Amino acid sequence: MSIGFIILFLGLIPALWKRSGLFSIVWLMGSGFIAFEYLEVLYSRNVQDYLLLFPDPIGTANIGLNKLSAFFGVIFSIGLPLGMLYGHFYLKEHPGPGLRSHLFWLGLLGLSMHGLLWMRHSLLFLMLWEVMSISSFLCVIQDRSASLKAALNYIITMQIGAGFLIAGFGLLYLQTGSFDLSTLAAMPRLPMYLLMIGFAFKAGFVPFSSWLPQAHPVAPAHVSGIMSAMMIKAGLYGILVIISINSFNLREIAIFCLISVVTAFWGVIHAMISSNVKKALAFSSIENMGIIGIGLSVGLLGLDAGIPMMATLGFAGALLHTFFHSLFKALLFYLSGNILCASHTLEADQLGGLAKAMPRSAACFLIGTFAISALPIGNAFISEFSIYTGLLSAMAAHDLPAIVISVVLLAAMAFIGALALIAFAKLFGIIFLGEPRSEQATKARECPRGMCLPQVVLVAGILLTGIFGNVGLRFVKPLLRWMQLDMSGYIGLRNTFSQISIVLGIVLLVFGLLYLIRKLCVKDIVSPTWGCGYHKPSPRMQYTSLAFVHPLSYFLKPFILIKKERIKAEGLFAREVEYAEHSEDPFWKCIVEPVSKALNWFFGLFSGMHNGRTDAYIAWCVGFLIVVLVWVLGFK
Amino acid sequence: MQEILVLAFGITLLFASVTNMLSSIIKILVVQGLILFGITLLKSTHLNWVGFAFIALETLIFKAIVIPWFIDDTIKHNQIHREVEAYVSNFFSLALMSLIFLGSFALAGFSGQHSGKLFPLEFGIAFATIIKGLFIIIANKKLITHLMGYLIMENGIFLLSLAVGGDLPHIISLGISLDIMLSVLIGVLFIKRIKSTFDDAESPRQLRED
Amino acid sequence: MINILIILLLPLFVPGLISRVKAIMVGRKGQSLLQPYYHFLKLLRKDEVISSSASFITRLAPSLALSATLCAALFVPIGLSESIFSFRGDVVLVLYLLALAKGIMVFAALDSGSSFEGMGASREISFTAFLEPAFILIMASLIFSAGFNSLNGLLHSYSIGGQGVWNIVVGAFTVFALYLMLLVESARVPFDDPNTHLELTMIHEVMILDYSGFSLGLIHYTAALKMLIYSSLIVQIIIPQTTSLPMLWFLGGIISTGIVTGVLESLMARFRMNRNLELVLVPVSVAVLAIAALIAKSIGV
């Protein structure tokens, strides 16, 4: 097929020989070649198609790329080699058993993600989807000491999602008679809903997102980064394929919009109250998927209401955010690996003051925080700006449902953006700034240079796309044209981004000037922090993460299930007092747990049969045969 | 001019969500009565002596002077504690109020598109007032606050009758004023009766919060 | 050109005016109107004391905050002249530049390792959560009535003296909500008392407790500039369009805003902290009411 693919396939060989360095280099080379191919498809008209003959029932399979697959392909080919590179350095610091198989599954994961984009045949697509799920599960359990329960939760949820996909594709075959996805003009409703739900499982929309915050904290850092930055996008790819084929009526758009807003809100609230870095990042991924969903619904709404600018800007914003999210989320997950390396804990309340010990990582995390809170130098600002502009342009049109939905979305996005800023200000501030709160934090040292290399590359990418918004926009342009959207909105956005680049340039210039003046003219005297008259300040006096979000968490109590366990102080001279609280996932608690309890109870009824005595089993078999005999002879 | 008054009516509802004092809600009732007086004056195209006197009696005298004075007197007489004791905090009250506004205006907009005689602005604010009155009744502990919520709801119904087009039908106003009078009388008597039977009209308050 | 001069020179005048008004209300003579300028120049000449817990964030935060706020100010029109930059949708950029300034100051507050500054940072950033939707909704209501335009264009095509009673209504709502936002963002009574130095009651003051010298001067200037931005937005809505002396109206408007704020500070006490967090939702409710009323009106009879 293509050279890049073959090189990537050959990458499995060094994996089996435990040569992770060679593995990453092969991945870098292969991704370079395959990225070149994807870019060629994206920018020129060469759409390569292969027809492969498989034995029945698969039949002829159409394998090729369209512009949408090429877009996602470029995202994968930028993120995956950086992930493999980081994994090489991370695994050197955290050696563990099973390196051979871990690298093999990692390579297989990357291959299946790329292969998914080429498949236009639903059965082959499903097969590669399953390979992706299983190989990611096997990558997640690399760290054997961590909980297996979360990983099992993950794979089972993925299988349920795959079940929906199988049902959807199966119904599609029954109703249209072919497996081919490239020739579909419109899908019948029921398979489309089933497919959307199946893809939503992977993408992490609420209420199917319980696996994300459980699977990511137990996985090693590079796997979390790859999964969150790229594998989730595979689900999004499926949703975009469906959107590009069908058109939706207002009610469906409203439902999609509602789900996206709830997803974003849910994700950001839980990110606010999590003190484990990886858990907060996982919830933040859920939030970002919600924002992409909001962007998509803005685009769909624009198409439905006939406001072309809103449609173009909404889709542009969603696609830009997909690309940018893969950059900054990967960066932050790799940095969490750095934190784990340096201080052996991921709890923010045990850390602190790491910026003095790890200045490089702290600077990268600062840029990542800017990116994830959509502050102007980071790149999420560019994508959210497009979505905001799309919504504001709808306010000037005169379509009532569009205006009402736009008002709600504007308020929701601004609120969610502010909450994201709070969540990551808390995370950055408590982990990196201030004084170390524990022994482990005091002993932290900067990680080796190799671990910082992929992060520096990602930071450069974030700054480039954040300050020069047109870079990202040029990347998205062929896709907008392919979706037949009105390009005047694109031209307006391009001019706007040039002006934003100029303004951001002025911000950085003035900042640089002032900082230089300060550095040259002002002398610093260092002395301990003002303790306001208290003579023995200690690091424990600093704010903790829950305390930081406390003013708002009071208002968010109805939305978060917090279970408190306490032993209260009793009597005049209390012996022991204890207080612990942890948040629970209501979807898990209210939907999955009762079902699994019911299933356990049901199967428990038959546990009497399991007594280990052979004669009892023979008796059951004989009884069953007698019943079947009677039934066949008597009733047939 | 009319629209400014109607929007000022809406602002009083926001004020009702924010305040913690019983006396503020009484002042809100007074202001609402005055605003309703102004609106009905501006809306009545033809006015004779009887009509004017009736409107003035109902809105200005009744809603803005007599009933608030009555309630104020009851509060002083029964020495009811001056705070509004709500079950939900002000934040949720305000957030809910914003949602109620959005919802009732959406309702007004969608029904206004089909019928021509509806004034969507008045309809929206009136509907929001009715729901706000209901909410005050649901979300507060004290009996006297329930009464005031009921009065706000009556104000809303009055505004609603103005919103559905046309001049002020006198029968509706008669019905409303009778309704209000009876309810206030009963409420006040009830409270006075409770006061004389038990020592205080409120539920016992805990000294310690858990 | 005159825009830049006003942006650079006017901000520090307003806090001085407010202090003077407060002093007169209490019966004192008060400090000179130019006192903040003297203070600023004195601070610029001084050296700094940096906490031993601080990292590079403390050193770069005031500069970044000032430059972000300055660039946000470049989008606000002064009088009837155009702002220096404008493009469609720049309201979002202004909002996020101000959020950048606030975010980096919050980081700097957490950097010092003091519990007071953490407390101030936590409270300050909780207020932001409700002000951002309010600002966007206000801008959305302006866009709804005036068409999609830049901040410059919106404020110029809008004025209270214009035709129709709805202009007055929407203008009044917008001014009210923006004024509440000004009080919260510039840390004025009744949301925060800029003169208190009791640790448990400070919000904005406590975030900068550890700063001194050059950085402190920059921070004071940034706070004054933020107040000027919000006051300009309010004044621009009030200026009538057909006037021959726009600059006079503008300066008069800024001075009146200062006087009103000073009087309000003298007459009111700061609200309890829990209540503040609840009340910060009021601009959002007012903006929702305004925009809902506008939409209903445009559809109805």
Touching chains, C (3+ CB pairs < 8 A): A, B
Query: Which residues in chain A have their CB less than 8 angstroms from residue C285's CB?
Result: none
pLDDT value of residue C38: 94
For helices B67-78 and B22-43, the axis angle rounded to 10 degrees is: 170
Which residue, chain included where needed, has tokens 């075959």?
Answer: A173
Residues B189 and B194: their CA atoms lie apart, in Å, by: 9
For helices A20-43 and A469-482, the axis angle rounded to 10 degrees is: 60
Chain A, nearest residue to C110 by Cα? A429
Cβ contact, residue pair A404, B91, below 8 Å: no
Instruction: Name the CA dihedral angle for C160, C161, C164, C166, rounded to a multiple of 10 degrees.
Output: 10
pLDDT > 90? residue A321? yes
Query: Which residues in chain A have their CB less than 8 angstroms from residue B106's CB?
Result: 404
* Pick from A364, A340, A335, A360: nearest CA to A350: A340
Residues B118 and A379: their CA atoms lie apart, in Å, by: 48
CA distances from A627 to A426, A618, A631 (A): 67, 14, 6
Query: Which residues in chain A have their CB less than 8 angstroms from residue B110's CB?
Result: 400
Residues A217 and A277: their CA atoms lie apart, in Å, by: 8
Q: Which DSSP category does A386 fall into?
A: H
pLDDT value of residue B201: 45
Residues A531 and C241: their CA atoms lie apart, in Å, by: 54
Facing residue for A555 by CB, picked from B91, B106, B110: B91
Residues of chain B short of pLDDT 50, as ranges, are 199, 201, 210
Q: Residue A579 forms beta bridges with which residues?
A: A566
CA distance C25 to chain A (A): 32
Cβ contact, residue pair C282, B14, below 8 Å: yes
Instruction: Let me know: does B89 contact B19? Beta carbons within 8 Å.
Output: no
DSSP string of A107-121, one letter each residue: HHHHHHHHHHHHB-B
Touching chains, B (3+ CB pairs < 8 A): A, C
Of the three residues A190, A212, A246, the one that is the final residue of a domain is A246
Task: Write the burial class of residue A526 (CB in 10 Å: 0-12 exposed, 13-18 middle, 19+ buried).
Answer: exposed
Q: Residues C61-83: what's their mean pLDDT?
A: 87
Kindly give the pairing relationship between strand A561-567 and strand A578-584.
antiparallel
Which residue, chain included where needed, has tokens 């279970």?
Answer: A563
Q: Residues C145-150: what's their mean pLDDT?
A: 79
Residues A453 and A468: their CA atoms lie apart, in Å, by: 23
Structure tokens at A165: 């996909």
Cβ contact, residue pair A552, C129, below 8 Å: yes
Contacts of B189 (CB under 8 A, 6+ apart): none
> Between chain A and chain C, how many beta carbons pairs sit less than 8 Å apart?
254
Whether A233 is covered by a domain: the verdict is yes
Whether A56 is covered by a domain: the verdict is yes
Facing residue for B18 by CB, picked from C279, C284, C288: C279
Q: Residue A525 forms beta bridges with which residues?
A: C49
Chain A, nearest residue to C275 by Cα? A551
Give the distance, in angstroms, between the CA of residue A241 and the centroid of all CA atoms in the same chain.
Answer: 18
Q: Residues A594-607: what's their mean pLDDT?
A: 85
* Pick from A445, A330, A368, A358: nearest CA to A85: A330
Instruction: Let me know: does A483 contact A244? Beta carbons within 8 Å.
Output: yes
CA distances from A522 to C44, C45, C59 (A): 9, 8, 11
Residues B53 and B47: their CA atoms lie apart, in Å, by: 10
**pLDDT single digits (tens) A322-352:** 999 999 999 999 999 999 888 888 888 888 8
Instruction: Let me know: does B159 contact B129? Beta carbons within 8 Å.
Output: yes
Whether A163 is covered by a domain: the verdict is yes
DSSP string of chain B, one letter each residue: -HHHHHHHHHHHHHHHHH--BHHHHHHHHHHHHHHHHHHHHHH-SS--HHHHHHHIIIIIIIIIIIHHHHHHHHHHHHT--SB--BSS-HHHHHHHHHHHHHHHHHHHHHHHTT-SS--HHHHHHHHHHHHHHHHHHHHB--HHHHHHHHHHHHHHHHHHHHHSSSS--HHHHHHHHHHHHHHHHHHHHHHHHHHHHSS-SSPPPPSS--
pTM of the model: 0.89
Whether A201 is covered by a domain: the verdict is yes
Q: How many independent structural domains does chain A possess?
A: 2
* Pick from C23, C162, C1: nearest CA to C84: C1
The answer to whether the bond into A207 is cis (omega within 30° of 0) is yes
Give the distance, in angstroms, between the CA of residue A367 and the centroid of all CA atoms in the same chain.
Answer: 19
Q: Residues C246-252: what's their mean pLDDT?
A: 84
Alpha helices by DSSP H, listed for A94-188, are: 99-118, 122-140, 148-176
Whether A552 is covered by a domain: the verdict is no
**pLDDT single digits (tens) A497-525:** 999 999 999 999 999 999 999 888 888 88
Residues C16 and C23: their CA atoms lie apart, in Å, by: 11
Of the three residues A246, A281, A309, the one that is the final residue of a domain is A246
pLDDT > 90? residue A419? yes
Query: Which residues in chain C have their CB less than 8 angstroms from residue B106's CB?
Result: 292
Instruction: Let me know: does A97 contact A143? Beta carbons within 8 Å.
Output: no
Which residue, chain included where needed, has tokens 């560019």?
Answer: A382
Contacts of A203 (CB under 8 A, 6+ apart): A232, A233, A235, A236, A238, A239, A289
Facing residue for A403 by CB, picked from C64, C70, C295: C295
**pLDDT single digits (tens) A164-200:** 999 999 888 888 877 777 777 777 888 889 999 999 9
Give the distance, in angstroms, between the CA of residue B53 and the centroid of all CA atoms in the same chain.
Answer: 22
Task: Write the burial class of residue A521 (CB in 10 Å: 0-12 exposed, 13-18 middle, 19+ buried).
Answer: exposed
Q: Residues C270-290: what's their mean pLDDT?
A: 84
- What residue type is B163 in one-letter code? A
* Pick from A308, A462, A311: nearest CA to A382: A462
The top-scoring range by mean pLDDT among A158-162, A260-264, B72-76, B170-174 is: A260-264
- Is pLDDT larger for residue C234 or for residue C295? C234
Of the three residues A231, A246, A261, the one that is the final residue of a domain is A246
Whether A311 is covered by a domain: the verdict is no
Chain C, nearest residue to B8 by Cα? C169
The top-scoring range by mean pLDDT among A319-333, C43-57, C182-196 is: A319-333
* Pick from A286, A291, A289: nearest CA to A269: A286
Residues of chain A with pLDDT > 90, as a percent, come to: 34
Whether A462 is covered by a domain: the verdict is no
Cβ contact, residue pair C299, B113, below 8 Å: yes
Kindly give the pairing relationship between strand A524-527 and strand C48-51.
parallel
Cβ contact, residue pair C148, A506, below 8 Å: no
Residues B154 and B167: their CA atoms lie apart, in Å, by: 19
Q: Residues C267-279: what's their mean pLDDT?
A: 82
CA distance B75 to chain C (A): 25
CA distance A485 to chain B (A): 30
Structure tokens at B159: 């505004």
Q: Residue A584 forms beta bridges with which residues?
A: A561
Instruction: Let me know: does C294 contact C174? Beta carbons within 8 Å.
Output: no
Chain A, nearest residue to C112 by Cα? A434
Q: Is the dihedral of CA A338, A344, A347, A348 positive or negative?
A: negative
Chain C, nearest residue to B112 by Cα? C300
Residues C298 and C295: their CA atoms lie apart, in Å, by: 5
Instruction: Name the CA dihedral angle for A400, A406, A407, A409, rounded to a multiple of 10 degrees.
Output: 150
Chain A, nearest residue to C60 by Cα? A515
Ramachandran category for residue B162: left, alpha or beta (phi over 0 → left; psi -120 to 50 → alpha) = alpha
pLDDT value of residue A93: 84
* Pick from B83, C63, C27, C58: nearest CA to A429: C58
Ramachandran category for residue C196: left, alpha or beta (phi over 0 → left; psi -120 to 50 → alpha) = beta
In this structure, the number of other CB atoms found within 10 A of the CB of residue A118 comes to 23
**HEC-encoded secondary structure of chain C:** CHHHHHHHHCCCHHHHHHHHHHHHHHCCCCCCCCHHHHHHHHHHHCCEEEECCCCHHHHHHHHHHHHHHHHHHCCCCCCCCCCCCCCCCHHHHHHHHHHHHHHHHHHHHHHCCCHHHHHHHHHHHHHHHHHHHHHHHHHHHHHHHHCCCCHHHHHHCCCCCCCCHHHHHHHHHHHHHHHHHHHHHCCCCCCCCCCCCCHHHCCHHHHCCCCCHHHHHHHHHHHHHHHHHHHHHHHHHHCCCCCCCHHHHHHHHHHHHHHHHHHHHHHCCCCCHHHHHHHCCHHHHHHHHHHHHHHHHHHCC
Instruction: Tell me the residue range of the domain where A571 lies.
Output: 564-633
Residues A457 and A462: their CA atoms lie apart, in Å, by: 9
